[in-house]
Amino acid sequence: MTETTVAEQRRVEAAVPAPRAGRLRRWWSNPWRKPGFLKAVTWGYLAWSILPLFVAILISFNQGRSNSSIQGLGLNWWWGDPSGSLFRDPELHVAIFQSLRLSIGTMLITVPLGVAFAIGLDRWRGRGSGTANFVMLLSFVLPEIVLGVAMFLVVVNVLEFLNLGTVAQVVGLVTYQLSYPVIIVRARLLSIDKEYEEAAMDLGAPPRQAVRRVLLPMLYPAILASFTVVFADSLDDFVTVRYLSGPASSEPLSVKIYNFSRGSPTPAINAAATFLLFATTLVVIVGYLAYRYSTRGQHRDELTALGQV
Amino acid sequence: MSRPAGSAAPARVPKLRRGRDAQTNGVHYPRWYWQSFAAPAIAWLLVFFLLPLYTVLSIAFGTVDPILRTPVPVWQPWWWTTAHVAEGLDKTFGLFQTVYLRTFGYVLVASAICLVLGYAVAYYVARYAGRRKTLLLVLLISPLWISYLMRMLAWINLLQPDGYVNRVLTFLQIVPEPVGWLEGRGITVILGLVYGYIPYMILPVYAFLDRIDVNLLESGRDLGANPLSTFLRVTLPLSRPAILAGLVIVSLPMFGDYFTNTLLSGSPSTTMIGNLIDDSIYTAGQQPEAAVLILILMLLLLIPIGYYLRSTARTAAAR
């Protein structure tokens, strides 16, 4: 076939409109076509997942009593209302401090316990380590209601010295959160060779020092991440904590929100939830910045790591 | 440590004693050295995790104080009584049967929606997000950091009779008058479950899809497959483990969920297993019933939990 005939044929093809089915088929089988539908689904999903939260935050700044429509913006339910606002309602005021007490206490116990557990599990290769790991993972996958009710039953019927209240709540939270630092730290340990400690010990460091001065500093980023995750997650927890609550003064903000959401809540409940949201966001940002600082100059793939946890 | 198959160590090498000799390079750790790191956490889990679980068993198979109506746990399995358990099983197939079936139905529908929607989103972000990938990932992860309560509260606000959802729907004449979304509707509970748990589906599926070798997909195309059949015959079969993992991660907490239902419906017509447990815990003299319900729940979840633990162990072994 000569060149002219090919060109001519193309012109003819272009002039005659392709049958509709053919165009569809070509569009369908074009591997480089834009995934318009998927794009719409994704952005639609994101809007659906995030816009309601903005509405909830806006309602916390509502001037009126309604929790369903905005009647002017102001700080009425944060501070303005002398008895019903978040910072001045005596009950909510106490709850804020109980929330902080529980999360700080939980964080301070869980992270050291979990980090040592992770190091032990990673380096100790015996039969017992498999069982310990299994129990840890079991505590991770069981629905929270199982742990909460089991803890409640044990506190009420067996370990009665742990009265329902702050101590029992912290114990329950630590148990529920323990697997997070273990999983995070072990993921990091996988990428750290034993040779570093061994080199330190060859140079005369006793084992304790090899761990404390060589291994531990390499784990700082994972430890930081654990502090952040445990703090943020215990701040929001209301299942375990609710079962282990004693008097009303031992209920943290999350439990108050849960209890008040039934019935007809005022925007003060939105203010409380927004307060928790801001607190969590602050902790996550501080944790992230500290994480960046502690991993400066290293290769990071924290987003994929987060996806795998 | 990955060890290619077939390169097993020579059979003659004497087995190393655990503990002191297990280390290489002449570096010696004291005996029980690494175990001592794990010991505090193991002790903690024994007392505050395994003991509580065993207490559930001993209360479920125990007796009740005839005067105080408080449970009397029976610790020795050979003295266990089966009265509570028999009663619990009786109710499972009688009074509570609809609750169990409803829970299964809700979880099934909600997990299926999570899978379809979550897979589409994860697929788009993994394959087509391009420059926007970081932004999209942050947006996808952010719900995990936001309190579940806050997220449900947002829907309580929106779904009120005079809320924004009803206003939009009546304005568009889709419904003639405001709908009582929060008054015991299964669809609201299912949507709440999807909203609450879908992020846990998207992330593992995304992490998996992101690691699929693009060359595999391109060779599929080079061999003449159109995008759909490349997806159906390469991507989808490859992502089966991620799909199963996502389904397990999403459905396990849904089975134990009581709060979504309490917050978004609160009506007996949408009660789930979790609500039965939650209600009986706060009723005097019903603690044994709560313990039996917990046992039944754990029994039902045995298969997904077993699958999760086994696949996690397998990934760990493959490293």
User: What is the helix (H) or strand (E) element at residue B217, kind and residue range?
Assistant: helix B214-222
CB-based contacts of A195: which residues, under 8 Å, 6+ apart? none
CA dihedral B153, B159, B165, B170 (to 10 degrees): -160
Query: Nearest Cβ partner of A307 from B40, B162, B203?
Result: B203
Strand B63-64 and strand B71-72: the pairing is: antiparallel
Q: Looking at A190-266, list the stretches that DSSP marks H as alpha helix, in order from N- to C-terminal side.
A: 195-202, 207-209, 216-236, 239-243, 253-261
A83 in a domain, yes or no? no
Residue B142's pLDDT band, with cuts at 50, 70 and 90, is confident
Do residues A68 and A96 both lie within one domain? no
Nearest Cα of chain A lies from the Cα of B94 at a distance, in angstroms, of: 23
- How would you classify residue B255: left for phi > 0, otherwise alpha for psi between -120 and 50, otherwise beta? alpha
A68 in a domain, yes or no? yes
Please report residues of B whose CB lies closer than 8 A to that of A56. 150, 153-154, 157
Q: From B252, which residue of chain A is nearest by alpha-carbon distance?
A: A143
Into how many domains does chain A fold? 2
Q: Which amino acid makes up residue B86?
A: A
Query: Nearest Cβ partner of A135 from B23, B49, B226?
Result: B49
Note the pLDDT tens digit of each residue in B71-113.
888 888 888 888 888 888 888 888 888 999 999 999 999 999 9
Do residues A98 and A61 both lie within one domain? no
Tokens 């291994």 sit on residue: A215
Closest CA to B278 of A240, A233, A138: A240
* Residues A68, B181: Cα–Cα separation, whole Å: 13
Do residues A276 and A138 both lie within one domain? yes
Put simply, whether A82 touches B (Cβ < 8 Å) is: no
Handedness of CA A153, A156, A160, A163 (dihedral sign): positive
- Position B10 scores a pLDDT of 41
- How would you classify residue A20: left for phi > 0, otherwise alpha for psi between -120 and 50, otherwise beta? alpha
Q: Residue B204 has which token pair?
A: 């593992």
Is A262 in Cβ contact with B294 (below 8 Å)?
A: no
Nearest Cα of chain A lies from the Cα of B78 at a distance, in angstroms, of: 20
* Residues B166, B33: Cα–Cα separation, whole Å: 64
Burial class (CB in 10 A: 0-12, 13-18, 19+), A104: middle
Yes or no: say if B2 and B314 are a contact pair by the CB < 8 Å rule: no
Q: What is the DSSP letter of B15?
A: P
Yes or no: say if A49 and B201 are a contact pair by the CB < 8 Å rule: no
Which of A107-111, B55-59, B227-231 shows the lowest mean pLDDT across its residues? B227-231
Do residues A94 and A68 both lie within one domain? no
Note the pLDDT tens digit of each residue in A201-254.
888 788 788 888 888 888 888 899 899 999 999 999 999 999 999 888 899 999
Do residues A67 and A104 both lie within one domain? no
Do residues A300 and A158 both lie within one domain? yes
- Position A12 scores a pLDDT of 52
Do residues A135 and A250 both lie within one domain? yes
Closest CA to A288 of A236, A229, A233, A230: A229
Expressed in percent and rounded to 5, the helix, strand and coil fractions of chain A are 75, 0, 25
Q: Looking at A124-252, list the stretches that DSSP marks H as alpha helix, in order from N- to C-terminal side.
A: 127-141, 144-157, 166-177, 179-189, 195-202, 207-209, 216-236, 239-243
Q: Residue B60 has which token pair?
A: 């479920």
Is A151 in Cβ contact with B48 (below 8 Å)?
A: yes
Q: Looking at the predicted structure, is the pLDDT value of residue B46 above 80?
A: yes
Question: Domain range holding A115?
Answer: 90-308
Other Cβ atoms closer than 10 A to B105: 14
Do residues A111 and A258 both lie within one domain? yes
* Residues B30, A233: Cα–Cα separation, whole Å: 37
* Residues B129, A230: Cα–Cα separation, whole Å: 31
Q: What's the start-to-end Cα distance of chain B, in Å?
A: 5
- Which is more confidently placed, A296 or B172? B172
* Residues B290, B59: Cα–Cα separation, whole Å: 9
Contacts A–B by Cβ distance under 8 A: 283
* Residues A236, A247: Cα–Cα separation, whole Å: 19
* Residues A177, B220: Cα–Cα separation, whole Å: 44
Do residues A100 and A40 both lie within one domain? no
pTM of the model: 0.84
Yes or no: say if A125 and B38 are a contact pair by the CB < 8 Å rule: no
Q: Which amino acid makes up residue B44?
A: W
Q: Looking at the predicted structure, is the pLDDT value of residue B311 above 70?
A: yes
Expressed in percent and rounded to 5, the helix, strand and coil fractions of chain B are 70, 0, 30
Q: Which of A74, A107, A132 finishes a domain? A: A74
Mean pLDDT of B154-183: 87
* Residues A86, A278: Cα–Cα separation, whole Å: 14
Please report residues of B whose CB lies closer than 8 A to that of A254. 147, 149
Closest CA to A176 of A147, A155, A156: A147
- Please spell the DSSP secondary structure of A21-38, one letter per residue: HHHHHHHHH-TT---HHH
A127 in a domain, yes or no? yes
Q: What's the start-to-end Cα distance of chain A, in Å?
A: 62
Greatest Cα-to-Cα distance within chain A, rounded to the nearest angstrom: 97
- Position B116 scores a pLDDT of 94
Tokens 């529908």 sit on residue: B109
Yes or no: say if A166 and A234 are a contact pair by the CB < 8 Å rule: no
- Position A114 scores a pLDDT of 95
What are the b/e assignments for B172-200, b being 16+ CB within 10 Å?
A: eeeeeeebebbebbbebbbbbbbbbbbbb
Average pLDDT of chain B is 83
Q: Residue A78 has which token pair?
A: 């944060």
Mean pLDDT of B20-24: 45
Is A46 in Cβ contact with B45 (below 8 Å)?
A: no
Q: Looking at the predicted structure, is the pLDDT value of residue B175 above 90?
A: no
* Residues A27, A30: Cα–Cα separation, whole Å: 5
CA dihedral B274, B277, B281, B287 (to 10 degrees): -160
Handedness of CA B237, A40, A68, A75 (dihedral sign): positive
Is B49 in Cβ contact with A139 (below 8 Å)?
A: yes
* Residues B55, A150: Cα–Cα separation, whole Å: 7
Yes or no: say if B193 and B260 are a contact pair by the CB < 8 Å rule: yes
In chain B the beta strands, taken as DSSP E runs, fall at: 63-64, 71-72
Domain architecture of chain B: domains with CATH = 97-318 (1.10.3720.10)
Query: Nearest Cβ partner of A154 from B55, B146, B252?
Result: B55
Do residues A220 and A258 both lie within one domain? yes
Put simply, whether A199 touches B (Cβ < 8 Å) is: no
Query: Nearest Cβ partner of B149 from A67, A132, A257?
Result: A257
Q: From A182, which residue of chain B is nearest by alpha-carbon distance?
A: B41
A294 in a domain, yes or no? yes
Q: Which amino acid makes up residue B141?
A: I
Q: Residue A80 has which token pair?
A: 């303005």
Please report residues of A whose CB lies closer than 8 A to that of B145. 232, 280-281, 284
A166 in a domain, yes or no? yes
A80 in a domain, yes or no? no
Q: What ipTM was estimated for this complex?
A: 0.84
Q: Which of A19, A47, A74 finishes a domain? A: A74
Proportion of chain B above pLDDT 90, given as a percent: 30
- Position B81 scores a pLDDT of 85
Do residues A148 and A225 both lie within one domain? yes
Q: Looking at the predicted structure, is the pLDDT value of residue B3 above 70?
A: no
Q: Which of A46, A74, A102 finishes a domain? A: A74
- Domain containing residue A178: CATH number: 1.10.3720.10
* Residues A101, A95: Cα–Cα separation, whole Å: 10
* Residues A206, A223: Cα–Cα separation, whole Å: 23
- Which is more confidently placed, B279 or A27? B279
A84 in a domain, yes or no? no
For chain A, which ranges sit under pLDDT 70? Answer: 1-21, 28-33, 263-264, 297-309
CA distances from B25 to A34, A54, A201, B22 (A): 56, 58, 11, 10
Tokens 């299926």 sit on residue: B112
- Position B40 scores a pLDDT of 92
Do residues A60 and A95 both lie within one domain? no
Mark which residues 16-45 of A lie under 8 Å from B by CB: 28-31, 33, 35, 38-39, 41-42, 45
Mean pLDDT of B226-248: 85
A208 in a domain, yes or no? yes
